[in-house]
Amino acid sequence: MMTNPWVKDFPQLNSGMCYLDTAATSLKPLSVIETLDHYYHDLSANIHRGMYHAAVETTQLYEETRETIARFIGAETEEIIFTRGTTSGLNMVAFSYGLAHLKPGDEIIVSELEHHSSFLPWQEVAKRTGAVLRFVTLNEEGRITVEAFQETLSEKTKVVALTYVSNVMGFITPLKEIVSLAHDTDAIVVVDAAQAIQHIEIDVSDLDCDFLAFSGHKMLGPTGIGILYGKQNLLQSMEPFEFGGDMNEDVEKGQSTWKTAPQKFEAGTMPIASVLGLKTAVEYLQSIGLKQISEHIEKVHRYAIAQLSQIDEVTIYNKTSETGIISFNLSDVPAHDAITFFAEQDVALRAGQHCAKLICDWLGIHSCLRASVYLYNTYKDVDRLVEAVKQAVKYFKELGF
């Protein structure tokens, strides 16, 4: 492969680290870092309040970010809420929409592929409302299929909360058909797009999902910022999740009123620098194009699967994954022993349950290793991983594992 033209944009790679942990958090390009710097260095103002120059520029950049995000996912500007991340967006839906609308006996459809942040809020809301959690039966590979979804769907289904891409298996959920079926029974669909947003072109108006959440830090942006998309009519009908400054319209001793969405969901001072940084991150993604990014991921991913498959001691749990996530184990070597070896080689992977214990249970494993490739990864990174895996196998065998 030709030299990767994007590597130079990521200063974190200067150390020579082999970074294969984008599914945990992506690296940040220099342009994003410069935006954060610009805010802290030159602006440092709060939004929607001051009249001075820095405050005006900050407010403008803040609201431009909302427009940029809206265009990026095919939404209206008013449908974009800034959150702390996917977790906080999904909690907002569960506790603002879910608590208010669910009744005993209503059903919430989830799956064993869910990240804990797409599962636990609904488990909790189910407990509080008397609603019932239903799990889509995964097929033999571990995928959500339209057929299995259809079998789980019923007149009682009120909420469908599913991941777009599993952070362990990397499978893409057939959401378009699922949304359409769910709407036929008047259920709403909440999408966890944390592992989709950085490589799949999402158009919420076409997908027609009701809510969709993602995190800035997994799409080249800063930590502490995420997006919750919600259909306008739903957002307007929902109560605020947090109360405080900036979200109210009028405050009286007896009764107060709220701004309209999205502002009513953005109480207090938001992580302004991170919001601005997210705009730069999206612009960076757009300058390359998600299509080119996903094609690159696919090439490197395919190469990695081919190489790793040749090592007898490697068990891959998601060989057929269509994204950059590879979950695997080495025979007889617990993941946490293996990961220490990789860390010594400066190969960054992740080991554990990946905040998705239900799919580990489904796979019948206690934990696994996960490598995830993204646009700044190269065949050389894969070679380094493969070499490290071979050495690890040898090292632990000699130790007597």
Partner 1 sequence: MSGLDNLYREVIMEHYKNPRNKGLVENENYKTFRIKNPSCGDDITIQSFVIDGIIKDCRQEGHGCSISMASASVLTEMMIGKTVEEALEVAENYLNMVSNKQYNETMDLEEAEVFSGVRQFPARVKCASIAWVAFKDTLK
Ligand X SMILES: Cc1ncc(COP(=O)(O)O)c(C=O)c1O
Which tokens in the block code for residue 179?
């949304």
Residue 340 near partner 1 by CB under 8 A: yes
Q: 87: closest CA among 115, 59, 126, 53?
A: 115
One-letter amino acid for residue 239 of the chain: E
Residue 124 near partner 1 by CB under 8 A: no
Supply the DSSP symbol for 314: E
DSSP assignment of 68-111, as one string? Answer: HHHHHHT--GGGEEEESSHHHHHHHIIIIIIHHH--TT-EEEEE
- Three-class secondary structure of residue 378 per DSSP: coil
From residue 264, alpha-carbon distances to 84, 154, 231, 241 in Å are: 15, 33, 15, 8
Residue 117 near ligand X by CB under 6 A: yes
Task: Give the binding range for partner 1 (CB under 8 A) out of 59-67, 126-134, 286-294, 347-355.
Answer: 347-355
Which 172-201 positions form the footprint of ligand X (CB under 6 A)?
A: 192, 194-195
Q: 44: closest CA among 63, 61, 68, 65?
A: 61
CA–CA separation, 381 vs 387, rounded Å?
10
Residue of 335, 348, 349, 359 interacting with partner 1 (CB under 8 A): 335
Residue of 65, 68, 86, 173 interacting with ligand X (CB under 6 A): 86
Task: Give the binding range for partner 1 (CB under 8 A) out of 129-137, 173-181, 228-236, 343-351.
Answer: 343-351
CA–CA separation, 157 vs 153, rounded Å?
6
Which 255-284 positions form the footprint of ligand X (CB under 6 A)?
A: none
18 in catalytic set: no
Q: Are strands 226-230 and 211-215 parallel, antiparallel or unpaired?
A: antiparallel
Residue 115 near ligand X by CB under 6 A: yes
Count of residues binding ligand X (CB under 6 A)? 13
Q: Are strands 188-192 and 211-215 parallel, antiparallel or unpaired?
A: parallel
Which of partner 1, ligand X, none does residue 308 bind (CB under 5 to 8 Å by kind)? none
Which of ligand X, partner 1, none does residue 337 bind (CB under 5 to 8 Å by kind)? partner 1
Residue of 26, 58, 215, 274 interacting with ligand X (CB under 6 A): 215
Task: Give the binding range for ligand X (CB under 6 A) out of 38-46, 112-120, 150-158, 253-261.
Answer: 112-120
Residue of 212, 351, 373, 386 interacting with partner 1 (CB under 8 A): 351
Residue of 241, 341, 362, 376 interacting with partner 1 (CB under 8 A): 341
Report the catalytic residues.
Answer: 355
Contacting positions for ligand X (CB under 6 A): 85-87, 115, 117-118, 163, 167, 192, 194-195, 215, 355
